[in-house]
């Protein structure tokens, strides 16, 4: 078994070619984490020789300056001003990413970011966004979870303050559900180049045997892709699931959590599962979500 595993892992670079990452999109904004987000997206694009697409959206409308400012500014002038600001973002994106990536694209639209990001995701294998938005106004801000669940692509969520490119030490938060299966498959290109992988499921004691069998299947699946799991464990629930995942991540030195994004619509709004919501709100390491 060990010899077979070594042989499979040794072919990981060849396997990477079978699950290529051809393009990555990153959302660019005025928030303090935007530069780090661009840098991380550029690092990942450089690893795969992928194109990097900078994306920005901003719908002209009532902004934080209030109604008085809006009344003094003609709609055409407001549109021109925002277009200038978007171009500044494009210049910033190109300045940072040009150092690492050969193929760059800039896409800025005068529309709600919550609409722009999922729409532009059609051109990318991965979308990189922040954990929080830059503004409070409805015309410029967006709900991060809604974008994840509507993009149709895996999303790398970069928390505020993270500057180091993630992906060396990965935690897979497993649950035997469609979203987790999708997340593992979407993460294959990034797991192949990871140095260390921890596979964890949190399950009740009565489900422990079944959970362990499921983890063995996942480990075997990954091994067939040339990916070796170092730690595989089933944990019993003790308080918050997210707190347990964060503790494992801290103990193992994890810099990336792979997880399914769980949610559904009700009256046109996304209702999120507790783990998805809590990871978005409190994780201090990057998360790769799929749904």
Whether 146 has a pLDDT exceeding 50, the answer reads: yes
150-165, pLDDT tens digit by residue? 999 999 999 999 999 9
Whether 263 has a pLDDT exceeding 80, the answer reads: no
Whether 3 has a pLDDT exceeding 80, the answer reads: no
The DSSP call for residue 54 is E
Stretch 1-10: mean pLDDT? 49
- Of residues 254 and 11, more confidence is placed in 254
pLDDT computed for residue 76 by the predictor: 83
Residues of the chain with pLDDT > 70, as a percent, come to: 84
- Of 86, 124, 90, the C-alpha closest to 106 is 90
Stretch 179-189: mean pLDDT? 96
- Comma-separated ranges of CATH 3.40.50.620 domains in the chain: 20-158, 169-290
Whether 241 has a pLDDT exceeding 80, the answer reads: yes
- Of residues 61 and 112, more confidence is placed in 112
Residues 6+ apart with CB under 8 A from 114: 57, 142, 143, 146, 147, 150
Residues 6+ apart with CB under 8 A from 206: none
- Of residues 279 and 64, more confidence is placed in 279
How high does pLDDT run on average in the chain? 86
d(CA 3, CA 103): 40
Contacts 24+ apart (CB under 8 A), 78-86: 79/110, 82/58, 82/110, 83/108, 83/110, 85/30, 85/58, 86/56, 86/58, 86/110
Please give the torsion angle defined by the CA atoms of residues 239, 240, 241 and 244, in that order, rounded to the nearest 10 degrees.
Answer: -70
pLDDT computed for residue 71 by the predictor: 54
d(CA 199, CA 40): 24
pLDDT computed for residue 16 by the predictor: 44
- Of 153, 126, 157, the C-alpha closest to 142 is 157
20-158: which CATH architecture?
Answer: 3-Layer(aba) Sandwich (3.40)
- Of residues 17 and 112, more confidence is placed in 112
Tokens 């760059």 belong to residue = 104
CATH superfamily of 169-290: HUPs (3.40.50.620)
For residue 219, the surrounding DSSP H or E stretch is helix 208-224
């Amino acid at each position: 078994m060990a010899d077979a595993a070594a042989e499979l892992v040794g072919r990981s670079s060849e396997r990477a070619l079978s699950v290529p990452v051809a393009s990555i999109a990153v959302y660019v904004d005025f928030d303090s984490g935007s530069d780090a987000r661009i840098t991380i997206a550029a690092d990942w694009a450089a690893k795969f020789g992928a194109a990097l697409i900078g994306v920005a959206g901003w719908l002209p409308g009532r902004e934080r300056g209030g109604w008085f400012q809006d009344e003094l500014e003609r709609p055409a002038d407001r549109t021109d001003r925002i277009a200038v600001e978007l171009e500044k973002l494009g210049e910033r994106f190109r300045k940072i990413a040009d150092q690492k990536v050969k193929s760059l694209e800039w896409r800025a639209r005068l529309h709600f970011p919550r609409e722009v990001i999922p729409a532009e995701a059609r051109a990318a294998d991965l979308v990189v966004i922040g954990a929080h938005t830059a503004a409070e106004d409805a015309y410029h801000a967006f709900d991060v979870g809604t974008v994840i669940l509507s993009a149709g692509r895996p999303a790398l969520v970069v928390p505020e303050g993270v500057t180091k490119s993630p992906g060396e030490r990965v935690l897979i938060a497993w649950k035997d559900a469609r979203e987790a299966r999708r997340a593992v498959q979407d993460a294959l290109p990034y797991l192949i180049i990871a140095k260390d992988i921890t596979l964890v499921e949190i399950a009740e004691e009565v489900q422990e045997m079944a959970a362990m069998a499921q983890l063995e299947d996942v480990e075997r699946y990954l091994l067939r892709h040339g990916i070796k799991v170092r730690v595989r464990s089933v944990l019993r629930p003790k308080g918050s699931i997210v707190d347990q995942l964060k503790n494992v991540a801290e103990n193992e030195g994890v810099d990336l959590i792979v997880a399914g994004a769980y949610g559904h619509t009700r009256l046109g709004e996304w209702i999120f599962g507790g783990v998805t919501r809590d990871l978005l709100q409190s994780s201090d390491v990057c998360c790769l979500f799929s749904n």
